[in-house]
Amino acid sequence: MYLGIDLGTSSVKSILIDDEQRLIGEASSAPLDVVRAMPGWSEQDPEIWWRAVCETLDSLGRAHPVEMSAVEGIGLSGQMYGATVLDEADRPLRPAILWNDTRSAAQCAELERRVPDIKSIAGRKPTPGVTASKLMWLAANEPETFSRVRKVLLPKDYIRMLLTGEKVSDLADASGTMWVDLKSRTWSAELLSATGLSEDHMPRLCEGTEVSGRLRPGLAQRWGMARLPVVAGGGGDNACGACGTGVIEDGHGTVSLGTSGVLFVANNSPRIAEDFAIETLCHAVPDRWHQMSVVLSATSCLTWLSKRLKRSPEDLIQSLGAAPRPATDVIFTPFLDGCWSPRNDANIRGSFHGIAHQHDDEALTQAVLQGVAFAIAECAEAFRESGTELKRLMAIGGGSRSPLWLSILATALDTELELPDASALGAAFGAARLGMIAATGARPSEVLRRPNILDVVPPAAAYADSYAASFRSWKRQARAN
């Protein structure tokens, strides 16, 4: 048996799978509180992460005692970028500053000034989400706390420390900090020094498939495990999600239509992002990298519209039918929460443009679906400019249940979209798979298999010119916002 633990921003999910990768059990924690003391701030107390992990594993232990006794490997997944700073006794000095905290914009500019060739080392420009700029903010605004920092851990690595006693990070998660040399897959002394830190402040690095430690005996006894399972390096939530869908080959990827939209593509070499705000990171498997872009508002845009029109999202989508249709002339830019990618603009906001008397609920709904698809297509353009070819894309997330939305997205991307059997996909599943590899020594390609594909949605060739023209108009409007 193998465990996957996914530490999200809103909750923890843990799953138990057997050696055939069948789902045996799953448990989710109570919601996790996020504290926003100031505009743009987002923090969590690391102690609530640990309580939530224990809550899920206690639940699995009660529900599946026989299966839990046979656990041999554990994989960890988690929210990325969060700065968890520890003192000399390994106690958190303050609440963790999370991935969606935007207070460190000024420090990003300063980090670029200190390291002019930062893109060639870390693969991209710094943004307020990354861990390095958070520590620079801490040095400037809480110098006494900064002076007491002995270790900096990412959220799931704090959980690893409590599970195993080891201070270790995997390369997929660590490469998002802006402290890793992307090509050599090691800590960069230059980037650490530029933020007032050294490698002594960092955990040991390992690949996501490697053994990072073993579960403490007392915890194994608590959860009824007959052995001391190995704990794999694991990965950030997006890399683990890719492991769950078997996305490890060059040019293979996923496009997620969830609350946010995520384009994720695996690479066989690091691709420098140049001036685009796209993430180039190590993958959770050796000798692989990946690119990732996040559109902050995707299905949340449809939720927003449904509240304004007082109709459910399902009703709005169903009113459009399932058949492909030409592009609408109404332009919607989906920047309700700002824009992270392919340009970083925290102040930009969404808009409708070109509304006339004849435009009804259906026209506004299609404009929203189309606007989200175009935002993802703009990210894909940045990937392609860096040399990435989109060979195979799987569509995942709640929005992928809409045939029309998938048709619009496939046409905007000019790429077929595969619909997987999603019965056991997700970051916790990918983490459990990494735990299996670490415990058994199996090759990643043997374990990280692609799911069955239920359907393939092609671009709507009849409307390609319609969408291409509308995309050009959308880009002009998005850049004018």
Lookup: tokens for 142: 């809480």
Query: What values do phi and psi take at 186, rounded to 5?
Result: -135, 165
Lookup: tokens for 395: 């569509």
Catalytic site residue 275?
no
At 232 the three-state DSSP class reads: strand
Question: Which of 6, 170, 173, 237 is flagged as catalytic?
Answer: 237
Lookup: tokens for 30: 């109570």
**What is the residue-wise DSSP string for 410-455?**
HHHHTS-EEEE--TT-SHHHHHHHHHHHHHH---HHHHSPPPPEEE
Please name the residue that has the structure tokens 């650490």: 192
Please name the residue that has the structure tokens 């704990």: 231
Contact yes or no for 361/316 (Cβ under 8 A): yes
Q: In Å, how far are 126, 136, 145, 147, 177 from 141, measured between CA atoms?
A: 19, 9, 9, 12, 20
Alpha carbons within 13 A on the beta-carbon side of 313: 16
The Cα–Cα gap between 396 and 255 comes to: 6
Q: Which residues of 226-255 are buried (b: 16+ CB within 10 A; e: fewer)?
A: eebbbbbbbbbbbbbbbbbbbbbbbbbbbb
Dihedral class, residue 246 (left if φ above 0, else alpha if ψ from -120 to 50, else beta): left
Lookup: tokens for 190: 């230059």
Residue positions annotated with a catalytic role: 237
